[in-house]
Amino acid sequence: MSLGAQQAGIDVKLAVEIDPHAAATYHCNHPEVRLLTQDIRDISLADLPTTTDSTILFGGPPCQGFSTSNQRTRNKENSNNWLFAEFLRITKIWKPNWVVFENVRGIVDTEGGMILAKVKAGFEKHGYTLTEWILNAADYGVPQRRSRYFLIGSRDGIQVLKPLPTTAKPISVGEAIGDLPRLTSGTLKEQLPYRSKAVSCYASELRNGSKYSLNNLVTKNSALVLERYNHIPQGGNWQDIPAELMSSYTDASRCHTGIYHRLQNKTESVVLGNYRKNMLVHPTQNRGLSVREAARLQSFPDYFEFKGSIGYQQQQVGNAVPPLLAHAVFTSIIVSAGLSD
């Protein structure tokens, strides 16, 4: 979200990130931003910026508990589901002009909408006029079908216009990653030359003059998993794999359709999420996605470098708000507030 905010012209002054690997990535890419690597519950008014300019508080409390794919702890007993209270606490003590609360669309239904109702009631109690949307990233130049919930609050009573789609036709997977290096299962190369010239305007914009592809890290799969990949056509999934190759599953029929899904070159990607666990498959190569390929599908520019082990990098990419989607949201706020040039 910080990258999208900066692209929209917002001067990001402070970030809070307790995870050390995500914090390392943030500091690497936003060295100018003051970064607090501590628990949000320990943040006080003294830690927050003081300014006479218009201010904005944005973020997304941990969303694992709200995800529609998480049926085990998608309830009020999950302590992570209550960290939204810290967002409200910071809002109360800092009194920003704007708040942007982002989450997975599953928050709308969790506990029958009770948690979201508490979030909205909290902002309204502190004097904010609210606007809410569910936005599909594919409508805003991101080559991925990924729906996110946004709640915008204005302390000045402004209703924010929903951002208009920026693309008439979704960016395809092939357009997004077709120029990236050819890799194999288990590749761990931080830097490699591009496979070809940029294959689309989208790829050219994300390369932005970069000479190399970074974060070319691919999970190493067993021979059995690689054999399974051989049987999956573009757009197919685990159901295309012969039953004898799925015998290690207690009941393969319980796998959801996203397991072993092979992306299609000519359409946008399915939602990434935990793409390593789901065994999301490259459209033409028998392997999982590299960190850089996933980052392209999330609309991160190629200069944006991820830190930590391959597992932590995959988690960071999968959890992220696509920068182009965030850019559309922040731009809409700026326009609605009459702050644009």
- Cα torsion through 242, 243, 245, 251, rounded to 10: 140
Give the sign of the dihedral formed by CA 206, CA 212, CA 217, CA 222.
positive
- Cα torsion through 189, 191, 197, 199, rounded to 10: 60
Q: Supply the Cα-derived Rg of the chain in whole angstroms.
A: 21
3 state SS of 228: helix
User: What is the separation of C-alpha 149 from the centre of its chain, rounded to a whole number of angstroms?
Assistant: 12
The yes-or-no answer on residue 63 being catalytic is yes
Query: Cα(17)–Cα(119) distance, rounded to whole angstroms?
Result: 21
User: What is the separation of C-alpha 138 from the centre of its chain, rounded to a whole number of angstroms?
Assistant: 13
- In the numeric block, which tokens belong to residue 306? 């991820």
Query: Cα(182)–Cα(285) distance, rounded to whole angstroms?
Result: 8
| Integer CA distances (angstroms), 297 to 21, 129, 293, 300, in order | 21, 33, 6, 8
**Could you tell me the end-to-end alpha-carbon distance of the chain, in angstroms, rounded to an integer?**
22
**Catalytic residue selected from 28, 63, 201, 255:** 63
Residues annotated as part of the active site: 63
